[in-house]
Amino acid sequence: MTDNVIGKVDLGPEINEPGRSLRLRRLEIQPGGVVPWHSHKDRPAVILVQSGQIKEYRSNCATPITHKAGEVSQEFGGISHYWVNDGKSVAVLYSADVFHGE
């Protein structure tokens, strides 16, 4: 998996949230690749699938969710999850999140 930060904004001076940033990342997940288990407690995000498709395994869902190109996933409310590319092509995702750190 590649994870490249495209840009970010320090939210301290913008909206008085010191130590937090709004960032935009581009992720490429190869076939068989995984975005490891992580939490969105206090870190909301919006994910756009640009190309390919990928499965999401959420802590609050009994079955995986398949996300296809052009679809958007919202991550908030403390969910935990991981993503798996079980397809035959690279999945490209854009992630915008409120991140702790500079």
Q: Write the CB contacts of 49 (distance below 8 Å, at least 6 apart in sequence).
A: 67, 68, 69, 70, 71, 72, 73, 91, 92, 93
Domains of the chain in start order, with CATH, are: 2-100 (2.60.120.10)
By percentage, how much of the chain surpasses pLDDT 90?
93
| CA atoms of 13 and 100, how far apart (whole Å) | 15
- In the structure, what pLDDT confidence band is assigned to residue 46 with cuts at 50, 70 and 90? very high
pLDDT in tens, 64-85: 999 999 999 999 998 999 999 9
On the CB side of 80, CA atoms within 13 Å amount to 5
| CA atoms of 81 and 59, how far apart (whole Å) | 6
Q: What pLDDT, on the 0 to 100 scale, is given for residue 102? A: 62
This model's pTM is above 0.85: yes
